[in-house]
């Protein structure tokens, strides 16, 4: 890889239940000043618009904190930690995050956006739709904004992928000293999601970014659920 270029896709309209995201993205990219999509581009799509398109908005009573809290518990398979208003839960997909990934920003007042039911499948649907329109494959990463233990500040991570590896295994590759690297499973999907966040910004509401120039070797079918979600048996922090 010699050069990576990342830009926000402007001009994507309001997304409602039933909106076909691939259509919106293809139209917006066709008129982008950065030019049309190319094979091997990675599109990072924020969870918020995927949830909206898939009808994952639910009404809550904004004046009643219990309304939000009940929803968080309903979407959780397990409460991992709780302190005051902060609830860290495990979702059905195996994500461990605040409030079961439910969030109220960039959503109409009185509504909350739940996570997609299966974000890998959501990514594949967008990829398939774009392939039909473009005649070639682009990779899709559905991203969300998570906190982390020990480190302040949120970062964007991948919750679903299509057409790109989630984790790239470099075990057995020689390092620059000719030694075999010991632990080199790199979560490129999370790194690409983070990179895309840098051009989208939380406040500006741009929900899609293009990442051009990733290593073509990463462009195989991937899955966040099977590659990134750590099985409980291998996890020291549950």
Scan residues 95-124 and list those touching its own copies (CB under 8 A).
Answer: 95-96, 98, 104-109
Q: What angle do CA 152, 158, 163 make, to 5 degrees?
A: 160
Among 36, 55, 205, 216, binds its own copies (CB under 8 A): 205
- What Rg value do the Cα atoms of the chain yield, rounded? 18
Q: Which residues make Cβ contacts (< 8 Å) with residue 27, sequence separation at least 6?
A: none
SS3 143: strand
Nearer to its own copies, 20 or 80 (CB): 80
Q: How far apart are CA 214 and CA 224, in angstroms?
A: 18
Nearer to its own copies, 97 or 129 (CB): 97
Q: How far apart are CA 35 and CA 31, in angstroms?
A: 7
Q: Could you tell me if 115 and 159 are in contact, meaning their C-beta atoms sit under 8 angstroms apart?
A: yes
Stretch that binds its own copies, among 22-30, 51-59, 130-138, 200-208 (CB under 8 A): 200-208
**Which helix (H) or strand (E) is 69 found in, with range?**
helix 65-74
Nearer to its own copies, 61 or 132 (CB): 61
Q: Could you tell me if 101 and 122 are in contact, meaning their C-beta atoms sit under 8 angstroms apart?
A: no
Nearer to its own copies, 26 or 214 (CB): 214
Q: Is 153 in the site for its own copies (CB under 8 A)?
A: yes
Q: Is 233 in the site for its own copies (CB under 8 A)?
A: no
Distance of closest approach, residue 117 Cβ to its own copies, in angstroms: 20
What character string, x for contact with its own copies (CB under 8 A) and - otherwise, covers 165-184?
-xxx-x--xxxxx-x-xxxx
Among 190, 220, 223, 225, binds its own copies (CB under 8 A): 190
Q: How far apart are CA 224 and CA 141, in angstroms?
A: 9
From residue 194, give the alpha-carbon distance in Å to each of 157, 169, 172, 190.
6, 19, 27, 6
Q: Which of residues 38-57 bind its own copies (CB under 8 A)?
A: none
Nearer to its own copies, 20 or 154 (CB): 154
Stretch that binds its own copies, among 15-23, 50-58, 90-98, 126-134 (CB under 8 A): 90-98
Stretch that binds its own copies, among 21-29, 114-122, 136-144, 194-202 (CB under 8 A): 194-202
Q: Which of residues 127-146 bind its own copies (CB under 8 A)?
A: 145
Q: Is 66 in the site for its own copies (CB under 8 A)?
A: no
78: which strand partners? 90
């Amino acid at each position: 890889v010699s050069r990576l270029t990342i830009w926000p896709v402007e001009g994507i309209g309001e997304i409602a239940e039933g909106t076909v995201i691939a259509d919106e993205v293809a139209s917006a990219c066709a008129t982008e000043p950065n030019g049309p999509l190319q094979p091997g581009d990675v599109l990072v799509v924020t969870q918020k618009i995927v949830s909206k398109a898939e009808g994952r908005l639910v009404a809550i009573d904004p004046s009643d904190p219990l309304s939000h809290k009940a929803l968080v518990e309903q979407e959780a398979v397990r409460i991992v930690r709780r302190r005051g208003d902060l609830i860290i839960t495990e979702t059905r997909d195996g994500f461990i995050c605040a409030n079961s990934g439910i969030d109220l920003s960039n959503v109409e007042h009185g509504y909350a956006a739940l996570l997609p039911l299966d974000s890998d499948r959501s990514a594949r649907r967008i990829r398939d739709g774009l392939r039909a329109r473009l005649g070639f494959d682009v990779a899709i990463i559905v991203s969300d904004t998570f906190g982390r233990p020990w480190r302040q500040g949120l970062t964007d991570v991948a919750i679903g992928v299509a057409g790109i590896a989630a984790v790239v295994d470099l075990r057995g590759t020689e390092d620059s000293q000719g030694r075999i690297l010991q632990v080199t499973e790199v979560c490129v999907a999370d790194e690409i999601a983070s990179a895309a966040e840098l051009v989208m910004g939380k406040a500006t509401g741009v929900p899609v970014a293009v990442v051009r120039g990733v290593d073509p070797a990463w462009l195989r079918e991937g899955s966040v659920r099977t590659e990134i979600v750590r099985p409980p048996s291998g996890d020291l922090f549950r």
